[in-house]
Amino acid sequence: MKTLTTGLLGFLLLTGVAQADVFVSVDAKGSYVLSNVHRPGRTYERVIRDPQSSLVSLDQQPQMIARQPYAELVSAAATAHQLPAALLHAVIQAESSYNAEATSPKGAGGLMQLMPDTARELGVKDVYDPKSNIQGGARYLKRLMILFDNDISLAVAAYNAGPQAVLSRGGVIPPFTETQRYVPNVLRQYRRLQGLAVDAPL
């Protein structure tokens, strides 16, 4: 790969593309893929480094997630429900700022701010128990991801406003002020923890 990446580097420099970090990886079909973002589950080699880049490096990304509060509980829930740990962290940050005792004016409680009826339906007996809350919140978020065909924006919107609010509008983010703020905040933190550019497609 060294010869290949050297050649690619020269080509990019000649064409004036080198304005940000650039990575090369091999996809499932054996083809080489160039990108200025990196995604979970792939092995990358950085061929261009932009000193001013705001992306989190490949070396820093796992440590950044591991340094978040409740990292082990989040990792276990992410694995159990096949969700990115970064997405769970982003939701927890937006919902409670990692305060396990948080209670909303509407009665939602715990790290992922589960409403009483939702908690009961998910089998969460104590919403203020971090492990139970994170597992329940992850289970609920996974359901929303399935419901909205893995569209992260819509799943996150539904987590905030309720799935019916999204479905009744034909699958768009509801126009509620809170939800309109909530979704970009969650996605911004998710991208940051994933090491993605702020405008990277999800």
Looking at the annotation, which residues are catalytic?
95
DSSP secondary structure string for all residues of 2-61 = HHHHHHHHHHHHHHT--SS-EEEEE-TTS-EEEESS--TT--EEEEE--TT--SPPTTHH
Core vs surface per residue 117-149: b (16+ CB within 10 A) or e:
ebbeebebeebeebebbbbbbbbbbbbbbeebe
Contact 65, 85 (CB under 8 A): yes
